[in-house]
């Protein structure tokens, strides 16, 4: 129990590390929260600091979620290791702790203690958690995100629809009910974090990849 609680705390701190903020501060010498969407996520980093730095931050944010969910494999101490292993649900193991860690990672990235409760929109970190819970489900979610992005050129739309589909993928892949529940939570959380983008999409003013707009994701 103590190990699980400690891991939840570590997962929050790891997810709260504001790589986007730090990267732009070092590269451009500015506070990314004063530009574009004011988000510290990879998309806003891309717009403010450049494509290569956006990809760099995206990778780091994915890793934050992935490491948080798979960390218990390192413990490898009998029941704890079995509980954390991303294997098909057998009806007996609740898989509650991985779900809670994944939730904490989402919240930690968006509500960073290092930035006074500010942060990104959790899409990249969420992808990392999905890859940790079910690699194939995570890859299918990423593929959905990528296809939608290629067609409509809007990261916000791709993020919302991608995470919407992850619950379907996890269910079809026979993941534990707690993992499917996390996907539902993730969809609600990421959608809420994109509420400003949704308003712009409805108004037809949401910027697309390649466009230079004042307001970015």
User: Could you tell me if residue 216 is inside a domain?
Assistant: no
State the pLDDT confidence band at 176, using cuts at 50, 70 and 90.
confident
Q: Do the domain assignments include residue 210?
A: no
Residue 113 structural domain: 2-203
- Give CA–CA dist 34/32, Å, rounded: 5
Regarding predicted confidence, which is higher, 94 or 173? 173
Q: Residue 187 domain-assigned?
A: yes
Distance of CA 29 to the CA centre of its chain: 26
- Whether 171 is in a domain gets the answer yes
Q: Specify if 117 maps to a domain.
A: yes
**HSE (side-chain half, CA atoms, 13 Å) at 95:** 25
pLDDT, position 214: 45
Q: State the Cα angle at 196 between 195 and 200, rounded to 5°.
A: 115
| Cα–Cα nearest to 7, from 59, 73, 58 | 73
pLDDT tens figures, 125-138: 999 999 999 999 99
Within-domain flag for 217: no
Tell me, yes or no, whether 196 lies in a domain.
yes
Task: Tell me, yes or no, whether 211 lies in a domain.
Answer: no
3-state secondary structure of 118: strand
In tens, the pLDDT along 35-55 reads 988 999 999 999 999 999 999
Please give the model's pTM, rounded to 2 decimal places. Answer: 0.87
What total of structural domains would you count in the chain?
Answer: 1
| d(C-alpha 71, C-alpha 8), whole Å | 10
């Amino acid at each position: 129990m103590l190990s699980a609680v400690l891991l939840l705390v570590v997962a929050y701190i790891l997810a709260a590390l504001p790589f986007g903020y730090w990267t732009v501060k070092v590269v451009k010498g500015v506070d990314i929260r004063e530009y574009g969407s004011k988000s510290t996520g990879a998309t806003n980093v891309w717009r403010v600091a450049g494509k290569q730095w956006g990809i760099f931050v995206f990778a780091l944010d994915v890793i934050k979620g992935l490491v948080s969910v798979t960390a218990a494999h390192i413990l490898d101490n009998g029941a704890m290791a079995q509980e954390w292993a991303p294997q098909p649900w057998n009806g007996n193991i609740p898989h509650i702790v991985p779900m809670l860690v994944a939730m904490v990672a989402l919240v930690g990235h968006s509500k960073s203690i290092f930035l006074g409760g500010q942060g990104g929109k959790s899409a990249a970190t969420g992808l990392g958690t999905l890859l940790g819970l079910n690699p194939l489900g995570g890859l299918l979610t990423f593929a959905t995100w990528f296809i939608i992005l290629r067609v409509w050129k809007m990261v916000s739309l791709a993020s919302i629809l991608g995470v919407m589909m992850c619950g379907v993928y996890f269910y079809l892949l026979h993941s534990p009910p707690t993992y499917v529940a996390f996907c539902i939570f993730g969809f609600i959380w990421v959608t809420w974090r994109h509420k400003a983008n949704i308003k712009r999409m409805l108004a037809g003013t949401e910027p697309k990849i390649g466009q230079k707009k004042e307001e970015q994701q």
